[in-house]
Amino acid sequence: MPIYEYRRPDGTTFELQQSFSDDPLKVDPDTGVPVERVLHAPAVHFKGKGFYNTDYGTKRRNRETAAAAEKSSSESSSSSSEKSEAKKDPAPEKKADSKPKKDSKAAAPSAGKS
């Protein structure tokens, strides 16, 4: 037997197990005040080739996307702060045994001769 939810005029609710064939309550059996049945949307998931799990919104997926967006924004802000720190140090250390630059004229082949 299903459980139905009823709402009193003051906004409080209560649940009652009733048969499908029973009529909905019109008054609260405990207090005698008028009540109305509360209807909720059923959870429906369509199965098949044309439907995907991502078609249905969930609270968990909302949290995951929000966390991913927050993570990417914090990574971009930390990488930009690292770049700004690198800009503050204008003269990086030079190695003493670096190779001398080659003469660019001697290394380039002549283009006009065939």
Percentage of the chain beyond pLDDT 70 is 55
Report yes or no: 3 and 16 within 8 Å, Cβ to Cβ: yes
pLDDT in tens, 42-61: 888 778 887 777 766 666 66
pLDDT in tens, 95-104: 555 566 665 5
Query: What's the order of all strands across the beta sheet hosting 36-38?
Result: 13-17, 3-7, 36-38
pLDDT of residue 45: 78
pLDDT of residue 69: 77
* 83 vs 32: CA distance, rounded Å: 71
* Identity of the residue numbered 47: K
